[in-house]
Amino acid sequence: MATLVEPQSDFATLPELPDDVFTAPLKRPEHLGEDWLEPEQNQYSSEDDAIWDDLFNRQVSILPGRAATSFLHGLEKLDLGKGGVPSFGRLTEELTTLTGWSVVPVPMLIPDHVFFWHLANRRFPAGNFIRTRETFDYIQEPDVFHDVFGHVPMLTDPVYADYMQEYGKAGWKAMRYNRLKALGALYWYTVEFGLIEESEGIRAYGAGILSGPMEAQFAVEAQSPNRIMLNVDRVMRTDYVISDLQPTYFVIESFEDLYRQTVERDFDRLYRTISPAFTYANSAVIDVDNVVHRGTQEYLLRGGRGSGAKAV
Protein backbone atom coordinates (compact mmCIF):
# COMPACT_ATOMS: atom_id res chain seq x y z
CA MET A 1 0.00 0.00 0.00
CA ALA A 2 1.38 3.42 -0.94
CA THR A 3 2.10 5.59 2.07
CA LEU A 4 3.76 8.56 0.41
CA VAL A 5 0.55 10.56 0.06
CA GLU A 6 -1.30 12.55 2.70
CA PRO A 7 -4.75 10.92 2.40
CA GLN A 8 -6.71 13.84 3.86
CA SER A 9 -5.99 16.13 0.90
CA ASP A 10 -6.89 15.84 -2.78
CA PHE A 11 -4.66 18.89 -3.50
CA ALA A 12 -7.46 20.62 -5.42
CA THR A 13 -6.68 23.74 -3.38
CA LEU A 14 -3.43 24.82 -1.76
CA PRO A 15 -3.37 23.27 1.74
CA GLU A 16 -2.59 25.56 4.65
CA LEU A 17 0.94 25.42 6.00
CA PRO A 18 0.93 24.57 9.74
CA ASP A 19 2.72 26.97 12.08
CA ASP A 20 5.06 24.27 13.37
CA VAL A 21 6.43 23.42 9.92
CA PHE A 22 9.86 24.89 9.16
CA THR A 23 10.45 26.17 5.62
CA ALA A 24 12.70 28.79 4.05
CA PRO A 25 11.09 32.25 4.25
CA LEU A 26 10.55 33.69 0.79
CA LYS A 27 8.93 37.04 0.12
CA ARG A 28 6.16 36.80 -2.45
CA PRO A 29 6.16 39.56 -5.10
CA GLU A 30 3.12 41.79 -4.69
CA HIS A 31 1.69 41.06 -8.14
CA LEU A 32 1.46 37.30 -7.50
CA GLY A 33 -1.24 35.28 -5.81
CA GLU A 34 -0.74 32.46 -3.34
CA ASP A 35 0.05 30.09 -6.21
CA TRP A 36 3.12 32.22 -7.10
CA LEU A 37 2.32 31.94 -10.81
CA GLU A 38 3.13 34.73 -13.24
CA PRO A 39 0.12 36.01 -15.23
CA GLU A 40 1.86 35.04 -18.46
CA GLN A 41 5.16 33.90 -19.88
CA ASN A 42 7.74 36.59 -20.58
CA GLN A 43 8.13 37.99 -24.05
CA TYR A 44 11.78 37.18 -24.71
CA SER A 45 14.07 39.42 -26.74
CA SER A 46 16.04 38.33 -29.79
CA GLU A 47 19.14 38.14 -27.60
CA ASP A 48 17.31 35.95 -25.10
CA ASP A 49 16.26 33.64 -27.92
CA ALA A 50 19.84 33.55 -29.20
CA ILE A 51 21.08 32.54 -25.75
CA TRP A 52 18.53 29.70 -25.67
CA ASP A 53 19.61 28.54 -29.14
CA ASP A 54 23.30 28.60 -28.22
CA LEU A 55 22.68 26.72 -24.97
CA PHE A 56 20.48 24.20 -26.78
CA ASN A 57 22.99 23.55 -29.56
CA ARG A 58 25.83 23.11 -27.09
CA GLN A 59 23.92 20.57 -25.03
CA VAL A 60 22.51 18.46 -27.86
CA SER A 61 26.03 18.12 -29.29
CA ILE A 62 27.32 16.37 -26.16
CA LEU A 63 24.29 14.40 -24.91
CA PRO A 64 24.21 11.45 -27.35
CA GLY A 65 25.68 8.47 -25.50
CA ARG A 66 25.31 10.30 -22.19
CA ALA A 67 21.60 11.18 -21.87
CA ALA A 68 18.87 8.67 -21.02
CA THR A 69 16.85 7.34 -23.94
CA SER A 70 13.64 8.72 -22.42
CA PHE A 71 15.15 12.21 -22.28
CA LEU A 72 16.29 12.11 -25.91
CA HIS A 73 12.88 10.85 -26.99
CA GLY A 74 11.29 13.69 -25.01
CA LEU A 75 13.45 16.25 -26.80
CA GLU A 76 12.24 14.89 -30.12
CA LYS A 77 8.58 14.80 -29.10
CA LEU A 78 8.60 18.40 -27.84
CA ASP A 79 10.90 19.77 -30.57
CA LEU A 80 12.66 22.15 -28.20
CA GLY A 81 15.11 23.21 -30.91
CA LYS A 82 12.58 25.04 -33.08
CA GLY A 83 14.38 28.28 -32.32
CA GLY A 84 14.17 30.58 -29.31
CA VAL A 85 12.64 30.05 -25.89
CA PRO A 86 9.73 27.61 -26.29
CA SER A 87 6.17 28.72 -25.66
CA PHE A 88 4.82 27.30 -22.41
CA GLY A 89 1.41 27.19 -24.02
CA ARG A 90 2.64 24.94 -26.82
CA LEU A 91 4.54 22.70 -24.38
CA THR A 92 1.46 22.41 -22.19
CA GLU A 93 -0.72 21.36 -25.13
CA GLU A 94 1.75 18.66 -26.11
CA LEU A 95 2.43 17.44 -22.56
CA THR A 96 -1.27 17.37 -21.71
CA THR A 97 -1.82 14.97 -24.59
CA LEU A 98 1.16 12.79 -23.64
CA THR A 99 1.06 12.62 -19.82
CA GLY A 100 -1.37 15.23 -18.51
CA TRP A 101 1.30 17.73 -17.39
CA SER A 102 1.56 21.48 -17.97
CA VAL A 103 4.36 24.05 -17.71
CA VAL A 104 3.64 27.20 -15.70
CA PRO A 105 5.78 30.35 -15.27
CA VAL A 106 7.20 31.44 -11.90
CA PRO A 107 9.46 34.45 -11.28
CA MET A 108 12.01 32.76 -9.00
CA LEU A 109 12.44 29.89 -6.60
CA ILE A 110 9.07 29.39 -4.92
CA PRO A 111 8.20 28.10 -1.42
CA ASP A 112 8.44 24.35 -0.91
CA HIS A 113 4.77 23.85 -0.12
CA VAL A 114 3.67 25.74 -3.25
CA PHE A 115 6.14 23.81 -5.39
CA PHE A 116 4.85 20.49 -4.00
CA TRP A 117 1.27 21.56 -4.62
CA HIS A 118 1.94 22.32 -8.29
CA LEU A 119 3.70 18.99 -8.81
CA ALA A 120 0.83 17.17 -7.09
CA ASN A 121 -1.44 18.71 -9.75
CA ARG A 122 0.92 17.80 -12.61
CA ARG A 123 2.07 21.39 -13.13
CA PHE A 124 5.80 22.02 -13.54
CA PRO A 125 6.88 25.52 -12.37
CA ALA A 126 9.53 26.91 -14.72
CA GLY A 127 11.63 30.02 -14.26
CA ASN A 128 10.25 32.96 -16.24
CA PHE A 129 13.69 34.34 -17.12
CA ILE A 130 16.86 33.27 -18.91
CA ARG A 131 20.50 33.64 -17.96
CA THR A 132 22.78 36.26 -19.52
CA ARG A 133 25.95 35.82 -21.55
CA GLU A 134 27.89 36.58 -18.36
CA THR A 135 26.23 33.63 -16.57
CA PHE A 136 26.11 31.41 -19.65
CA ASP A 137 28.00 28.46 -18.15
CA TYR A 138 26.56 28.51 -14.64
CA ILE A 139 23.60 30.13 -12.92
CA GLN A 140 22.73 29.41 -9.30
CA GLU A 141 18.98 29.95 -9.54
CA PRO A 142 17.33 27.75 -12.17
CA ASP A 143 16.27 29.64 -15.28
CA VAL A 144 14.01 28.72 -18.18
CA PHE A 145 16.76 26.76 -19.92
CA HIS A 146 17.50 24.57 -16.92
CA ASP A 147 13.81 24.05 -16.16
CA VAL A 148 12.49 23.50 -19.67
CA PHE A 149 15.44 21.83 -21.40
CA GLY A 150 16.56 19.89 -18.32
CA HIS A 151 13.26 18.84 -16.74
CA VAL A 152 10.40 19.00 -19.21
CA PRO A 153 11.50 16.31 -21.74
CA MET A 154 11.43 13.71 -18.94
CA LEU A 155 7.77 14.57 -18.28
CA THR A 156 6.92 12.88 -21.58
CA ASP A 157 7.76 9.53 -19.97
CA PRO A 158 4.55 8.23 -18.32
CA VAL A 159 6.19 6.45 -15.37
CA TYR A 160 8.56 9.31 -14.60
CA ALA A 161 5.68 11.77 -14.93
CA ASP A 162 3.76 9.77 -12.30
CA TYR A 163 6.82 9.74 -10.04
CA MET A 164 7.01 13.53 -10.16
CA GLN A 165 3.36 13.86 -9.18
CA GLU A 166 3.82 11.45 -6.27
CA TYR A 167 6.89 13.40 -5.17
CA GLY A 168 4.76 16.53 -4.98
CA LYS A 169 2.19 14.76 -2.83
CA ALA A 170 4.99 13.37 -0.67
CA GLY A 171 6.24 16.87 0.15
CA TRP A 172 3.35 17.50 2.52
CA LYS A 173 4.17 14.44 4.58
CA ALA A 174 7.84 15.46 4.78
CA MET A 175 6.82 18.92 5.99
CA ARG A 176 4.57 17.47 8.67
CA TYR A 177 7.61 15.66 10.09
CA ASN A 178 9.96 18.59 9.36
CA ARG A 179 12.10 16.37 7.16
CA LEU A 180 12.32 18.53 4.04
CA LYS A 181 16.12 18.12 3.97
CA ALA A 182 15.70 14.38 3.60
CA LEU A 183 13.09 14.65 0.86
CA GLY A 184 15.19 17.34 -0.81
CA ALA A 185 18.11 14.91 -0.99
CA LEU A 186 15.88 12.42 -2.79
CA TYR A 187 14.92 15.10 -5.34
CA TRP A 188 18.55 16.12 -5.71
CA TYR A 189 19.86 12.63 -6.37
CA THR A 190 17.03 11.58 -8.69
CA VAL A 191 15.26 14.47 -10.43
CA GLU A 192 18.34 16.72 -10.59
CA PHE A 193 21.33 14.36 -10.67
CA GLY A 194 19.97 10.89 -11.33
CA LEU A 195 21.59 8.22 -13.49
CA ILE A 196 19.92 5.18 -15.05
CA GLU A 197 21.31 1.81 -16.07
CA GLU A 198 20.52 1.15 -19.74
CA SER A 199 21.54 -1.75 -21.97
CA GLU A 200 24.39 0.27 -23.48
CA GLY A 201 25.64 1.64 -20.16
CA ILE A 202 25.01 4.32 -17.55
CA ARG A 203 23.07 7.33 -18.80
CA ALA A 204 21.85 10.57 -17.18
CA TYR A 205 18.22 11.59 -16.65
CA GLY A 206 18.69 14.32 -14.01
CA ALA A 207 18.11 17.91 -15.14
CA GLY A 208 21.15 19.27 -13.32
CA ILE A 209 23.34 16.94 -15.35
CA LEU A 210 21.59 17.32 -18.69
CA SER A 211 21.49 21.12 -18.69
CA GLY A 212 25.25 21.57 -18.05
CA PRO A 213 28.08 20.58 -20.41
CA MET A 214 30.70 19.68 -17.81
CA GLU A 215 28.38 17.69 -15.55
CA ALA A 216 26.97 15.67 -18.45
CA GLN A 217 30.42 14.27 -19.17
CA PHE A 218 31.62 14.08 -15.56
CA ALA A 219 28.59 12.21 -14.18
CA VAL A 220 28.67 9.46 -16.81
CA GLU A 221 32.35 9.08 -17.69
CA ALA A 222 34.70 10.56 -15.07
CA GLN A 223 36.71 8.42 -12.65
CA SER A 224 36.33 10.81 -9.69
CA PRO A 225 32.68 10.32 -8.62
CA ASN A 226 31.07 7.31 -6.98
CA ARG A 227 28.19 5.69 -8.83
CA ILE A 228 25.96 3.71 -6.48
CA MET A 229 22.65 1.93 -7.06
CA LEU A 230 19.74 3.85 -5.56
CA ASN A 231 18.66 3.00 -2.03
CA VAL A 232 16.00 5.49 -0.94
CA ASP A 233 16.72 5.27 2.79
CA ARG A 234 20.44 5.80 2.21
CA VAL A 235 19.95 8.66 -0.26
CA MET A 236 17.67 10.57 2.10
CA ARG A 237 20.45 10.51 4.71
CA THR A 238 23.11 11.80 2.31
CA ASP A 239 24.45 15.35 1.99
CA TYR A 240 24.89 16.92 -1.45
CA VAL A 241 26.81 19.70 -3.23
CA ILE A 242 24.88 22.68 -4.58
CA SER A 243 27.51 24.71 -6.44
CA ASP A 244 29.93 22.09 -7.77
CA LEU A 245 30.09 18.69 -9.42
CA GLN A 246 28.72 15.84 -7.35
CA PRO A 247 31.12 13.47 -5.55
CA THR A 248 28.45 10.73 -5.77
CA TYR A 249 25.64 9.84 -8.17
CA PHE A 250 22.89 7.28 -7.62
CA VAL A 251 21.78 4.90 -10.34
CA ILE A 252 18.32 3.41 -10.92
CA GLU A 253 17.52 0.22 -12.83
CA SER A 254 14.47 1.76 -14.49
CA PHE A 255 11.82 4.40 -13.87
CA GLU A 256 9.50 1.63 -12.72
CA ASP A 257 12.14 0.76 -10.11
CA LEU A 258 12.35 4.40 -9.01
CA TYR A 259 8.58 4.63 -8.68
CA ARG A 260 8.40 1.37 -6.73
CA GLN A 261 11.21 2.31 -4.32
CA THR A 262 9.53 5.59 -3.43
CA VAL A 263 5.78 5.24 -3.68
CA GLU A 264 5.77 1.85 -1.94
CA ARG A 265 8.08 2.98 0.89
CA ASP A 266 6.60 3.53 4.38
CA PHE A 267 7.71 7.15 4.76
CA ASP A 268 5.91 7.61 8.06
CA ARG A 269 8.22 5.05 9.66
CA LEU A 270 11.27 6.49 7.91
CA TYR A 271 10.57 10.06 9.06
CA ARG A 272 10.11 8.89 12.66
CA THR A 273 13.61 7.38 12.69
CA ILE A 274 15.64 9.60 10.39
CA SER A 275 17.81 12.40 11.83
CA PRO A 276 17.07 16.07 10.98
CA ALA A 277 20.72 16.32 9.88
CA PHE A 278 22.42 14.25 7.20
CA THR A 279 24.18 11.07 8.32
CA TYR A 280 26.50 10.49 5.36
CA ALA A 281 28.97 12.75 3.62
CA ASN A 282 28.42 13.29 -0.08
CA SER A 283 31.58 11.33 -0.93
CA ALA A 284 30.94 8.37 1.40
CA VAL A 285 30.70 4.74 0.38
CA ILE A 286 29.09 2.63 3.11
CA ASP A 287 28.78 -1.10 3.71
CA VAL A 288 25.21 -1.43 2.41
CA ASP A 289 26.00 0.25 -0.92
CA ASN A 290 25.68 -1.62 -4.21
CA VAL A 291 28.60 0.13 -5.89
CA VAL A 292 28.72 0.42 -9.67
CA HIS A 293 31.91 2.49 -9.63
CA ARG A 294 33.94 3.54 -6.62
CA GLY A 295 35.36 6.93 -7.50
CA THR A 296 38.88 8.18 -6.91
CA GLN A 297 37.42 11.50 -5.62
CA GLU A 298 40.39 13.22 -7.28
CA TYR A 299 38.34 16.23 -8.35
CA LEU A 300 37.00 16.74 -4.82
CA LEU A 301 40.36 16.14 -3.13
CA ARG A 302 42.08 18.67 -5.39
CA GLY A 303 39.61 21.34 -4.29
CA GLY A 304 36.86 21.20 -6.89
CA ARG A 305 35.69 24.15 -8.99
CA GLY A 306 37.24 26.84 -6.82
CA SER A 307 40.74 25.38 -7.21
CA GLY A 308 40.56 24.94 -10.96
CA ALA A 309 40.81 21.16 -10.61
CA LYS A 310 40.17 19.14 -13.75
CA ALA A 311 36.88 17.27 -13.85
CA VAL A 312 38.43 13.83 -14.33
Each residue's pLDDT tens digit, 231-269: 999 999 999 999 999 999 999 999 999 999 999 888 888
Pick the closest to residue 103 from 83, 128, 140, 131 (CA basis). 128
Model confidence at 58, pLDDT cuts 50, 70, 90, reads very high
Dihedral sign of CA atoms 223, 199, 203, 164 in order: negative
C-alpha 310, offset from chain centre: 25
How far are the Cα atoms of 101, 166, 310 from residue 160, in angstroms, in the given order? Answer: 11, 10, 33
CA distance 54 to 229: 34
Asked whether the predicted pLDDT for residue 169 surpasses 80, the reply is yes
Confidence class of residue 9 from pLDDT cuts 50, 70 and 90? low
Pairing of strands 226-229, 291-293: antiparallel
pLDDT tens for 276-293 read 899 999 999 999 999 999
